[in-house]
Amino acid sequence: MSAPAHDATGRAHGLHVVPDPQTRSTEVKILNVVQGTIGSKPAVVKAARGMSHFGEHALGWMAIGALGAVVDKPRRRQWAGVAVGAFGAHAASVVIKRVVRRPRPHDPSVQVNVSTPSKLSFPSSHATSTTAAAVLLGRLTGLPLPAVLVPPMLLSRVVLGVHYPSDVLAGSALGAASAAAVLAAEKRLASDRTGKNPR
């Protein structure tokens, strides 16, 4: 098997995508500003770590969906949809990460404040699953949960120094698309049930 081609810096082609220097520099500066302001407060870092643990592998959101399905039996299908949507969004982000293979921030000026299960950065799985769950929970409860839950999670990933701003924005967009797919599937199922059981 032939070895992968390398550029002048010795980096193997086709293994991961690296943003151009100007974009990377701008994003590092944003990370520096966030970490030097709100991210310099111990309480904020502690809260961000808690959010990180809650959202790891979408487990927190899946637990909420499972609990809702047990407690709110008339809407069990919708609560299950929250869990499925969060998991599906997370899975989609992992697949994209393995294709893009963008490394996490590693500039010396960026402080990493939490451990991560992988070194891949784009898109943010936390942002993806949180947005999907927030949209689905908001639709289910009638509350403006995307506006309440998504921004703090996105900001927390930057505070912790484990994602570039573009990672969390792309993750949020992917999560919204994942939630839309779940809602469309639920609508089709409801339509099929209505068609089979006319009143």
Task: Convert the pLDDT of each residue in 81-90 to its tens digit.
Answer: 999 999 999 9
Determine, yes or no, domain membership for 36. no
Determine, yes or no, domain membership for 130. yes
- Per-residue pLDDT, 99: 97
Domain CATH number, residue 150: 1.20.144.10
Range of the domain at 174: 50-191
pLDDT tens per residue across span 24-46: 689 999 999 999 999 999 999 99
Determine, yes or no, domain membership for 21. no
Mean pLDDT in residue range 175-179: 96
Determine, yes or no, domain membership for 43. no
Mean pLDDT in residue range 92-100: 97
Determine, yes or no, domain membership for 112. yes
Determine, yes or no, domain membership for 32. no
Mean pLDDT in residue range 155-176: 97
- Per-residue pLDDT, 141: 94
* Distances 121 to 42, 105, 113, 150, 168 between C-alpha atoms, Å: 24, 8, 15, 18, 9
State how far the Cα of 51 lies from the Cα of 58, in Å rounded to an integer.
Answer: 11
Determine, yes or no, domain membership for 28. no
pLDDT-based confidence at residue 199 (cuts at 50, 70, 90): very low
Share of the chain above pLDDT 90, in %: 78
List the one residue out of 82, 170, 84 whose CA is nearest residue 126: 170
